[in-house]
Amino acid sequence: MKKIILTGGGTAGHVMPHLALLPYLRGKNYHIDYIGSKNGIEKKLIEKEGLPYYGIASGKLRRYIDFKNFTDLFKIFFGTIESIFLMHKLKPNLVFSKGGFVTVPVVIAAWLTKVPVVIHESDMTPGLANKIASRFAVKICTTFESTLAHIPASKGVHTGAPIRGELLLGEGHKGHVYTRLDYNKAILMVTGGSLGAHSINDCLRNSLIELTKTFHVVHLCGKGNIDHSYDYLEGYRQYEFVGKHMADLYAMADVVVSRAGSNTITELVALKKPHLLIPLPATQSRGDQLLNADAFEAFGYSMVLQQEHLTPETLMKSVLYLHQHPQIYSEKMAEYAFADGTKHILYTLEGLLPQE
């Protein structure tokens, strides 16, 4: 039996692409193991799928001076030692890495034990973890063709992003049942990602009185961000995380507001959902979401509102425009031919597995 180790973590965005591949890998009867951090969000998500999960020590390398950079080097070292033992124990034929700092020890250990590594880079430019890991990879799959300019030509493969098949099969009426919202108003879905987005959460809640005159609002606010003081408001539903219900919520949504993580954008484009992107500003990130948002806005797929311009008034104006003119964006999104990269990534992986 062919064996594959999956690795990635830190946010749900580093895990969900694995879940998109999982049904196909299982269908091929591959044995799948997962290596992640000891207590990251990936542990809960992967264990729900019934996969063997192995937690290792992991640290983060920051782009600024911080004493934790020194202490985290030791975590990365111990994580690499743990990963080497796991490579010998699990004997994989291939490692597929989706990014996040927990993947660095895993990729290094695979290289040291001569296990081929494939990386997937979701953003326009590689993040620091993938920049390090790319030195040890044999292939680097990319969501965007322009990313190929930032990686070695011999390694780069433009595949697109893997999209969970179940997202394309959502049923809007089930979303209405789950949220207990009627059909009298359009549905506005707002998400800040698995960890939440405080600026979006605050602005949305300050806008609810006006927004709920036009929309029912479904708010995915992130872990620990439920605010029960708004429970009285009819037409507003808030959830930390919705898991298996996400496909049905997407299906019933008329307009979506989101951060500009690559995985979320490609899902929205594949579903042809009119959407407003509010990318993380450069002060809070390395700027990858700004690049993603700029590109999708230039393609005509997305409306973008920068966080520094985010107010209840600009939020209301933007979502109303999307609701009133959805065809402007949905027609452009229909032209996006490379929306689902699942099969392209599988082809790349299978090309590196031993042939029977």
- Over the stretch 105-150, which tens digit does the pLDDT of each residue have? 999 999 999 999 999 998 888 988 899 999 999 999 999 889 999 9
Confidence of residue 39 (pLDDT cuts 50, 70, 90): confident
Longest dimension (CA), the chain: 62
Beta pairing, strands 117-121 & 139-142: parallel
Confidence of residue 243 (pLDDT cuts 50, 70, 90): confident
The pLDDT, as a whole number, for residue 65 is 55
Higher pLDDT, 354 or 286: 354
Confidence of residue 13 (pLDDT cuts 50, 70, 90): confident
Which residue type sits at 182?
D
List beta partners, residue 186: 215
Q: Which of 81, 159, 153 is nearest to 122 (CA)?
A: 159
The pLDDT, as a whole number, for residue 335 is 83
32-61 mean pLDDT: 90
Percent of the chain whose pLDDT exceeds 70: 94
Domain boundaries, the chain: 3-162+341-350, 168-333
The pLDDT, as a whole number, for residue 349 is 95
pLDDT at 283 over 80: no
pLDDT at 196 over 60: no
- Domain 168-333 matching CATH 3.40.50.2000: the answer reads yes
pLDDT at 345 over 80: yes
Q: Burial, 50: exposed, middle or buried (Cβ in 10 Å; 0-12, 13-18, 19+)?
A: exposed
The pLDDT, as a whole number, for residue 319 is 98
Class of domain 3-162+341-350: alpha beta
Identical fold, 3-162+341-350 and 168-333: yes
